Amino acid sequence: MSDDEFLRVSDVSKWYGEEKVLEEVSFEMDRGDVTVLIGPSGSGKSTMLRCVNRLAEAQEGSILLDGEEVLSPDLDVDELRREVGMVFQGFNLFAHLTAVGNVALGPRRVLGLSETAARERAEAQLERVGLGEQFDSYPAELSGGQQQRVGIARALAMEPKLMLFDEPTSALDPELIGEVLEVMHGLVDEGMTMLVVTHEMSFAREVADEIVFLDDGRVVERGPPEQLFDHPEEERTGRFLERIASHD
């Protein structure tokens, strides 16, 4: 265990009724690390991600974030979510607010910034994701790629110490994926700690410090991308990667 350890997920299990969706999942991340969760649909990747900011409740195990137990019943979840940004597959932008309104809502209402300060912060974040021209556009007026970049800016505006990405490009047309990945690349370069669920294997290979392969709610294999992609130890990992590759 390194001194820089930032997130430690230990033996996390979760059931939906009778069905076990996560089974003793464990992995660790250092500050500034990028960890990518891969696996077939229904393998529990998104659920695992949501357990970290308690949008889903794990029933067993432990998640230590910066030394604090996330699964503690005494934890203030709103406080936790202030520090953990999340980007959704379906963008989930606030439909009634402009791009600036979407990004400013958290700083204004959660962090308590003044109207002006919140707007300034929102504009700065939108510039950061390359949307300086779209401040006053409503979500319905933006392309999918633009909407997702607003979604990223909205999470960044809270100045999170960890960013969760839940299949951020899965709902996008192929030609719009690049602009979102580019923004995510930028965050990696800035040293943001990121936990990413994605099917973009080339992106994972480029930026990930560790890949965690989940199947049936279990960690089948994990390791650095070169090892996991090129020399998978488990047969299941190999089969999954072949299937993904044949789709590309």
Contact between 145 and another protein per CB under 8 A = no
Pick 90 or 178: Cβ nearer another protein: 90
144 binds another protein (CB under 8 A): no
Confirm or reject binding of residue 138 to another protein (CB under 8 A). yes
The reply on whether position 140 binds another protein by CB under 8 A is: yes
For position 146 contacting another protein by CB under 8 A, the verdict is: yes
- What single DSSP character describes residue 60? E
Among 90, 132, 178, 224, binds another protein (CB under 8 A): 90
- Give me the amino acid identity at 70: V
Q: Tell me, what amino acid is at 83?
A: E
Stretch that binds another protein, among 13-21, 39-47, 60-68, 150-158 (CB under 8 A): 150-158
* 115 is an interface residue for another protein by CB under 8 A: no
> In this complex, which beta carbon is closest to another protein, that of residue 193 or of residue 237?
193
CA pair distance 102, 145, nearest whole angstrom: 15
Only one residue has tokens 């910066």, namely 66
Cβ of residue 109: shortest distance to another protein, in angstroms?
6
Instruction: Tell me if 117 contacts another protein by CB under 8 A.
Output: no
CB burial of 123-148 (b: ≥16 within 10 Å; e: otherwise) equals: bebbebbbbeebbebbbeebebbbbb
User: For 218-233, b where at least 16 C-beta lie within 10 A, e where not — what string?
Assistant: bbbbbbebeebbeebe
Q: Is 14 in the site for another protein (CB under 8 A)?
A: no
Number of H helices, E strands in the chain: 9, 10
Q: Are 182 and 176 in contact (CB under 8 A)?
A: no
Q: Does 110 bind another protein (CB under 8 A)?
A: yes
Please identify, using beta-carbon distances, which residue of 29 and 158 lies nearer to another protein.
Answer: 158
What count of other Cβ atoms lies within 10 Å of the Cβ of residue 202?
10
* One of 86, 183, 188, 196 touching another protein (CB under 8 A): 86
Contact between 154 and another protein per CB under 8 A: yes
> Least distance to another protein from the beta carbon of 89, Å?
9
- Which residues are within 8 A (CB) of 65 and not within 5 positions of it... i.e. 6 or more apart? 6, 7, 52, 80, 83, 84, 162
Residues binding another protein (CB under 8 A): 53, 55, 78-79, 81-82, 85-86, 88, 90, 92-96, 105-106, 109-110, 133-134, 137-143, 146, 154-155, 158
